[in-house]
Amino acid sequence: MFIGEYQYKVDEKGRVPLPPRFRRELKEGMVLSKGMGEKCIAVYPIREWKKLADKLAEKTVIPANLRKLNRALFGSAFGAAFDGQGRIKLPDTLRAYAEIGDTTIVVGANARVELWSEEGWKAEQTVAEEQASQIIESLGA
């Protein structure tokens, strides 16, 4: 499980470290993709990415819609691995999508990690905090 919020500098080559506790869960490999519907980079442990792929394969979605979803999800995804200093390279296209400059906010989001621009994270936090109690109530928790 990924929890917490961390701020890191992105170096001139587009590399960013991840928290040591996150590295342990991601050491077997990871996939970076666009946050669906959100301007962030989603970082999935390879096992979670495979679960997502398997769930999509099981769905009885209209074939054209499934193809579109697969293109959106898998077409923008990149495999990643840590370098010797615990950094990952952020692909330029994903970095531009998430509007990440020289700083990123690394957020634990349960089964995945999210990388946000500082401005994007501030805006998301505001909305999430405003809606959190309503969402909890709707879940019956």
pLDDT (tens digit, 9 = 90+) per residue, 7-57?
Answer: 999 999 999 999 999 999 999 999 999 998 899 999 999 999 999 999 888
| Alpha-carbon span 112 to 26, nearest angstrom | 10
pLDDT of residue 85: 94
Domains of the chain as residue ranges with CATH? 5-139 (3.40.1550.20)
Average pLDDT over residues 86-97: 97
Q: Are 115 and 90 in contact (CB under 8 A)?
A: yes
Query: Per-residue pLDDT averaged across 95-117, rounded?
Result: 97
Predicted local confidence at residue 62, as pLDDT: 75
Strands (E), the chain: 5-9, 15-17, 30-34, 41-45, 78-80, 87-89, 103-109, 112-116
Predicted TM-score (pTM) of the model is 0.89
